[in-house]
């Protein structure tokens, strides 16, 4: 199982390295990484998360509209606050935001990031941290919300929420 995971991560890294910007947000051609085709970004993330979950022996998750709405709200709010953290500018927690969005299941956890990197680079970083890896691979998860907000300067605020 570990071998499958390592092969998957190596493949993702090869793909990302070929098309991703440098850490300062610029590509080798001086271009800022810009999110286009938002539906494809979400599907790439869902497919990647499910491949990692399969390699870990856990069930696949599906995109959930309410969790995605809560993730989108939080990504924009982190940009307004100019800090990556799990509390909203109104003091809300992930549980509060998910309830407001109408999700009725249990919240497994929320992963966030402030970066100039692509969604696959961000997922790779999340998988390297034991706490965010545990959220992504939690066997109780059945639903996923995923969204982002990109500032004009190219900075991206990513939010992924897992729920039962």
pLDDT in tens, 84-93: 768 777 888 9
Domain count along the chain: 1
Report pTM.
0.80
Domain for residue 52, yes or no?
no
Residue scoring higher pLDDT (108 or 11): 108
> In whole angstroms, what is the distance from residue 16 CA to residue 123 CA?
11
> In whole angstroms, what is the distance from residue 77 CA to residue 56 CA?
32
Q: Is the pLDDT of residue 109 over 80?
A: yes
> In whole angstroms, what is the distance from residue 136 CA to residue 160 CA?
9
> In whole angstroms, what is the distance from residue 126 CA to residue 159 CA?
11
Distance between first and last Cα of the chain = 24
Domain for residue 46, yes or no?
no
Domain for residue 45, yes or no?
no
pLDDT at 83: 66
Domain for residue 41, yes or no?
no
Its domain, for residue 107, covers: 59-161
> In whole angstroms, what is the distance from residue 36 CA to residue 30 CA?
17
Domain for residue 18, yes or no?
no
Domain for residue 65, yes or no?
yes
Domain for residue 130, yes or no?
yes
| CATH (domain of 124) | 3.40.33.10
Domain for residue 153, yes or no?
yes
Give the pLDDT confidence of 120-141 residue by residue, as tens digits: 999 999 999 999 999 999 999 9
């Amino acid at each position: 199982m570990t071998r499958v995971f390592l092969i998957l991560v190596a493949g993702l890294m090869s793909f990302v390295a070929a098309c991703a910007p440098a850490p300062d947000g610029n590509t080798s051609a001086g271009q800022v990484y810009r999110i286009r085709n938002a539906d494809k970004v979400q599907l790439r993330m869902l497919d990647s998360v499910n491949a990692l979950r399969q390699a870990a022996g856990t069930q696949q998750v599906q995109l959930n509209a309410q969790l995605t709405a809560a993730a989108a709200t939080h990504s924009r709010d982190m940009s307004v606050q100019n800090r990556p953290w799990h509390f909203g500018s109104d003091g809300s927690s992930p549980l509060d935001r998910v309830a407001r969005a109408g999700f009725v299941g249990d919240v497994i956890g929320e992963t966030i990031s402030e970066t100039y990197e692509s969604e696959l680079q961000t997922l790779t970083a999340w998988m390297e941290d034991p706490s965010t890896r545990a959220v992504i691979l939690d066997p109780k998860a059945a639903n996923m919300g995923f969204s982002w907000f990109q500032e004009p300067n190219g900075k991206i605020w990513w939010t992924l929420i897992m729920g039962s």
